[in-house]
Amino acid sequence: MNQVISKDGTAIAFDRSGKGPAVILVTGALTTGADWALLAACLAPHVLVPTLVMSGGASYPFMYETARALSQAIPHAQLRTLEGQTHDVAPEVLAPVLVEFFKG
């Protein structure tokens, strides 16, 4: 994980992967799946890396709808719903899902 410090001193963590121009997505708290559907459709032809889209089964419905829209728009993306989890996923639930995904 990389980190930069903003002008006000806030640490911002980020991941970098793939090649080509950077894509930075910052979501707002009051968005819905519909808000991101067009963006997902525009980006989909250009996403050339394995993609895992996740949502928590106990999260608000709009979060699942956002994850579903992204997973349908990105070719070969995998959608996983982590049952019983909210937006704050427990590490012991998340870790095995990521291990499975990275093993291919």
With H, G, I as helix, E, B as strand and everything else as coil, classify residue 95: helix
Q: How far apart are CA 69 and CA 43, in angstroms?
A: 12
Structural domain range at position 74: 30-103
Give the chain's domain count. 1
Which DSSP state fits 81?
A: E
Query: Does the pLDDT value for residue 84 go beyond 60?
Result: yes
The share of the chain scoring above pLDDT 90, in percent, equals 13
Confidence of residue 19 (pLDDT cuts 50, 70, 90): low
Whether 65 is in a domain gets the answer yes
Which of 8-12, 58-62, 66-70 shows the lowest per-residue confidence on average (mean pLDDT)? Answer: 8-12
Whether 1 is in a domain gets the answer no
Which of 44-48, 59-63, 75-79 shows the lowest per-residue confidence on average (mean pLDDT)? Answer: 44-48
